[in-house]
Amino acid sequence: MKTVLYISYDGMTDPLGQSQVIPYLTGLAKRGHQITVLSCEKRHHFALLHERCEAVFADSGIAWHHVRYSKRPPVLSTYLDLARMRRLGKKLTTATPFDIVHCRTVLSALVGQPLARRQDARLIFDMRGFWADERVEGSLWSLSNPVYRRVYNYFKRKEHQFFREADLVITLTERAKEFIQSLSSGPEDSAEIAVVPCCVDTDHFSPEAVDPEVVSRHREELGLANDTFVLAYLGSLGTRYMLGEMMRFFAVLRRQAEGARFLIVTRDDTSLVDSAASEAGVDPSAISIVSTTYEEIPNLIALADASVFFIKTGVSGKAVSPTKQAELMAMGVRVVCNSGIGDCDEIIGGTGAGIIVDPLSENTFLRAAARLRARDGLSADLIRQVALERLSLESGIARYHEAWESL
């Protein structure tokens, strides 16, 4: 078993930390690994959830150390956060010899690479996605701005450096793995690459775990009749998520399924929904927006007849493995998405667990809506089976365990 310093710029009290980090780490701790976590925590999330996280980590024998996340000023605040993480990381590596420094994202690798070198530990670059390209393709950074152009170029150089120098690179998709391999000039310039998609707790996201009384209450509160066709969307709004196109798809679906409702489960600013609905000509009364907890999401998914997510592709799209995809499929819900999102073409379209829409047009929307209404594709039980085989938490833990043990 390994002693591992796990570095994450995402906080353990963030939604991603709750769903995509802590479950993996506690599972790996059960397999005997000695884990120390270094994270950057946002004030609001930390105030709400730090006691719960501390209890979970204590029960698993995981040591948790953290610094406070700062948001402003842009760019400089990130630099200061990373500097604080480096100082704390240096203290941790001085006190404890680690076999592996595992860095979740390129920002964490900026902290972890010098720590691994200092200790002669193995370095894992768990890249998650092409972070700098996500910022550009999500319209957060404009390359016409010389400051952002320099920052983008810096992170792309560091990304390629980590591809060369890491003992192991972990990515979310086979498409990203193939793309990274295409960048190398030869075998000596090629890192070992493992693929671990975003997985979920399929015991939590399970039709059997749903509380019928809670689902019934949600249905009543939202004004949904038993025969209302419900299209669901989970997660973030804006940036790379194509809310306008999703709203246009719902408008087409609503013409075929009279009285259909669009259930949007998000913690983001919902003003984006209002403007997207107006542009698509969707009656605001046809949309229900809910902000909820991780624990409650399965009871809301249980209301859905189908789900949708459209995400910008480009370079960053090669590495996208949507957590929402695994959550929805584990609940047996059909997924409609666009082509070119990570491995979704194969996992969703190739298995019949949903519908790939390509291109995003009125005609393809009409065909996809008709297929949803006809319930064309796998049954709910078979969709869940695909998730159990490909996207379960246990499979993700096993892949990480294998990666750690290989070093």
Per-domain boundaries in the chain: 3-199+393-405, 207-390
How confident is the model over 39-45, as a mean pLDDT? 95
11 has a pLDDT exceeding 80: yes
What pLDDT, on a 0 to 100 scale, did the predictor assign at position 189?
61
| Per-residue pLDDT tens digits for 82-121 | 999 999 999 999 999 999 999 999 999 999 999 999 999 9
What pLDDT, on a 0 to 100 scale, did the predictor assign at position 38?
98
What pLDDT, on a 0 to 100 scale, did the predictor assign at position 195?
97
What pLDDT, on a 0 to 100 scale, did the predictor assign at position 268?
87
Mean pLDDT score across all residues of the chain: 94
What pLDDT, on a 0 to 100 scale, did the predictor assign at position 176?
96
Q: Which of 326, 387, 377 is nearest to 355 (CA)?
A: 377
188 has a pLDDT exceeding 60: no
160 has a pLDDT exceeding 80: yes
How confident is the model over 310-339, as a mean pLDDT? 96
Token code pair at residue 233: 């969307």
Fold classification of 207-390 (topology level):
Rossmann fold (3.40.50)
How confident is the model over 308-337, as a mean pLDDT? 96
Instruction: Provide φ and ψ at 96, rounded to 5°.
Output: -135, 130
**Where does the pLDDT of residue 376 fall: very low under 50, low under 70, confident under 90, or very high at 90 and above?**
confident
What's the CATH class of domain 3-199+393-405? alpha beta
Q: Please return the burial class of 138, using the count of CB atoms within 10 Å of its CB with bins 0-12, 13-18 and 19+.
A: middle
| Per-residue pLDDT tens digits for 213-238 | 999 999 999 999 999 999 999 998 98
Q: How far is CA 352 from the centre of its chain?
A: 22
The two domains 3-199+393-405 and 207-390 share their CATH topology (first three levels equal): yes
What pLDDT, on a 0 to 100 scale, did the predictor assign at position 212?
96
What pLDDT, on a 0 to 100 scale, did the predictor assign at position 185?
64
What pLDDT, on a 0 to 100 scale, did the predictor assign at position 375?
86
* CB-based contact 8:37 (threshold 8 Å): yes
How confident is the model over 24-52, as a mean pLDDT? 96
How confident is the model over 235-251, as a mean pLDDT? 94
How confident is the model over 385-403, as a mean pLDDT? 97
Q: Which of 216, 213, 266 is nearest to 238 (CA)?
A: 266
Q: Tell how strand 63-68 and strand 334-338 pair up.
A: unpaired
pTM, two decimal places: 0.92
- What sign for the dihedral angle of Cα 269, 271, 277, 283? positive
What pLDDT, on a 0 to 100 scale, did the predictor assign at position 126?
98
